[in-house]
Amino acid sequence: MSENLQKTLAEIARIEKQCQSLLVTATNLQELEKIKSDFLGRKGAVQALFALMGRVGADEKPHLGAALNRLKETLQAEIETRMASFQRQPMAIDSFDPSLPAKLPAMGSLHPILQVMDEVKQIFTSMGFRVEEGPEIESDYYNFEALNIPAYHPSRDMQDTFYLSGQHVLRTHTSPVQIRTMETQKPPVRMIAPGRCFRKDTPDATHSPTFHQCEGLCVDRGVSFADLKGVVQAFAQKIFADKSMRVRFRPSFFPFTEPSAEYDFSCIFCKGKGCRVCKNTGWLEISGAGMVDPAVFGFVDYDPEIFSGYAFGMGLERIAILKYRVNDIRIFFENDIRFLEQF
């Protein structure tokens, strides 16, 4: 083999290695296009090697020609394979733009009833009330018996109850938490107990089988009905941020309060003229209330000669209806995202 042929074969091997190492490090199609033209183009490195055919004798030309053709085919195949791999990955590193804003996950928010509940808690805790909790599956004793509603008492008919097996019910109001609190705490007691309640009520614009109440209880020496009226009036003005909000008390009956009352807030929709939401009365019933009946103190060992107290149980949906000007309670429970995302 002539010295020229040896040199040219060595150059062929070097060009092949150089091209292959460039292919390995190439990161995009533009770089590959450049490698292709640098090595296989008309003025590329492989073409330049073909020009060296003249350096070798006629007997060595077929050998060199075969080596050059093999180099050309090898590089062509390797460049094409590498190009195809980039075409299969349109999201190659160079097309990833880290400066683009991220796709945000869908964010939830607090349900409007929970927002009202939080606000109610905040207002009452600022007035010195503690927040208490009780179970939604309640015993007959706490839901009725200890609230002075014995089994034979006709007032049990006032609440359409979901009875569970045994002596349990889905609590029909938050008043059982009064008993649970007084059982474990001595006066003075100032507490609220917001939570879910259940009744077999037929749904309409202001009634839902699942709804929320916030119980309130204040027991101390010398607590009077005037204290109840003052606290409720202050609450109404704070929750609606409106000093003109009116509250009215009507006589009523609850076995666990004496005297008993219901209080209403003035209807925000019709300004008292009467509409579908307030059933043409100009008022929306918000809560039952009254002075704690001495018989209830008997169940928790409080001395009614020393202590007196008031209690109330407000419907939170009724407050949300007024606050957010929603004219039907049922929409709070439909979980329509178009409604919920407005809060």
d(CA 99, CA 342) in angstroms, rounded, equals: 31
Residue 173 or 238 with smaller CB distance to ligand FA5? 173
Report which residue type is found at 216. G
Please state the closest distance from residue 184 (CB atom) to ligand FA5, in A. Answer: 19
Closest to 6 (Cα-Cα) out of 70, 74, 69, 63: 63
Residue 199 or 238 with smaller CB distance to ligand FA5? 199
Please state the closest distance from residue 152 (CB atom) to ligand FA5, in A. Answer: 20
d(CA 121, CA 240) in angstroms, rounded, equals: 14
Please state the closest distance from residue 314 (CB atom) to ligand FA5, in A. Answer: 6
Indicate the DSSP class of residue 74: H
Residue 8 or 175 with smaller CB distance to ligand FA5? 175
Label each residue of 127-190 as H, E or C: CCCEECCCCCEEEHHHHCHHHCCCCCCHHHHHCCCCECCCCEEECCCCCHHHHHHHHHCCCCEE
Checking phi first, is residue 176 left (phi over 0); if not, alpha (psi -120 to 50) or beta? alpha
Residue 19 or 116 with smaller CB distance to ligand FA5? 116
Residue 179 phi/psi, 5-degree rounding, is: -65, -45
Residue 39 or 263 with smaller CB distance to ligand FA5? 263
Q: Render the burial of 322-336: b for 16+ CB within 10 Å, e for the rest.
A: bbbebeebebbeeee
Residue 236 or 289 with smaller CB distance to ligand FA5? 289
Torsion of CA 252, 255, 259, 264, to 10 degrees: -40
Please state the closest distance from residue 112 (CB atom) to ligand FA5, in A. Answer: 14
Residue 55 or 330 with smaller CB distance to ligand FA5? 330
Please state the closest distance from residue 106 (CB atom) to ligand FA5, in A. Answer: 30
Q: Is 67 exposed, middle or buried (0-12, 13-18, 19+ CB in 10 A)?
A: middle
Please state the closest distance from residue 91 (CB atom) to ligand FA5, in A. Answer: 53
Please state the closest distance from residue 316 (CB atom) to ligand FA5, in A. Answer: 8
The tokens for 227 are: 């204290």
Please state the closest distance from residue 93 (CB atom) to ligand FA5, in A. Answer: 59
Residue nearest to ligand FA5 (CB): 315
Residue 15 or 232 with smaller CB distance to ligand FA5? 232
d(CA 216, CA 303) in angstroms, rounded, equals: 20
Binding site for ligand FA5 (CB under 6 A): 173, 175, 199, 201, 207-208, 211, 213, 254, 257, 285-290, 311-313, 315, 317-318, 329
Contact 134, 171 (CB under 8 A): yes
Closest to 291 (Cα-Cα) out of 275, 276, 307: 307
Closest to 311 (Cα-Cα) out of 194, 221, 191: 191
Please state the closest distance from residue 242 (CB atom) to ligand FA5, in A. Answer: 19
Contact 289, 260 (CB under 8 A): yes
Residue 32 or 170 with smaller CB distance to ligand FA5? 170
